[in-house]
Amino acid sequence: MTKKEKVQFVIDTLNEIYPEIPIPLDHKDPYTLLIAVLLSAQSTDVKVNQITPKLFEIADTPKKMVKLSVEQIRDIIRPVGLSPMKSKGIHGLSHILLDKYNGQVPKSIEALEELPAVGHKTASVVVAQAFNIPAFPVDTHIHRLMYRWNLTNGKNVVQTEKDAKRLFPEDLWNRLHLQIIWYGRQYSPARAWNLDKDIITKTIGRKCVIAEYNKKMKK
C-alpha cells in the first residue's frame, strides 16, 4: 500500500467501526470540558467522570469555582492524582476567565495555553470538542497508533501531531482524533495487545512492530 492508501484504509476502517463517536469526558459546556480535560492528565477518563459530578455540583462555573479555596478543590479532585498542581490550576484559570474573558472560555489554542495548568493537548481538545474548530490533539493512544501504523517516526507527540495534520484531511481531524482514541483502547492497547483483533495494524503496521509482537507471542 502507498501511504495515501494506508491513510484512506485508516479512515474507512474507523468510520466502519465508529460511525457514532461518544466524547469520553462528561461535561455540559466549554468550561466543564476544560476542567475535565485538565483533570484527565495522567489519569483515566473513568476516574475523572467519577469525580467531576461532585465538583460540578458545587462549582460548575468560574464564578462559583473561585469561591472555593485551592484546598477545597484539592480535597475533591484528589483521587485523580496530581491534585496540588491541578487544584491551583483550576482556581487560577477560573480567576483569569472572570478577569480577562468575562467568564467565558476562549476559543483559540494560544489563549487557552496561557491559562494555568493548560497545555497544548488540553487546549486542542477544548477547541475541537467545545467549539468544533479543527485540531488534532495527540494523546498516548494516538501517539502509539500513529507509530504502529508507520504514519510517524514516533519520536515525540509534537512530530506525531504534525504528521497527523499533514496526512489526514482537516475536516476529519476532530472526528479521527476521537476514533483513534477509542480504537487504541479497544483494539490496540499498550498492554494485553492482540494483533489478530487489531485489523489496522495487522494490515498496514510497521514491520518491526509486528515482528516484535510475534517474537513475544512465541516466548
Smallest CA-to-CA distance from 105 within 55, 35, 23 is with: 35
198 is written with which cell numbers?
A: 487489531
* Selected catalytic residue, list 86, 121, 163, 198: 121
Asked if 99 contacts 6 with a C-beta cutoff of 8 angstroms, the reply is: no
143 SS3 class: helix
Question: What is the distance, to the nearest Å, from the Cα of residue 124 to the centroid of all Cα atoms in its chain?
Answer: 8
CA distance 207 to 136: 26
Asked if 172 contacts 136 with a C-beta cutoff of 8 angstroms, the reply is: no
Q: Is 139 a catalytic residue?
A: yes
71 is written with which cell numbers?
A: 484546598
* Selected catalytic residue, list 60, 139, 163, 198: 139
Q: Is 121 a catalytic residue?
A: yes
The secondary structure of residue 59, as a DSSP letter, is -
Catalytic residues: 121, 139
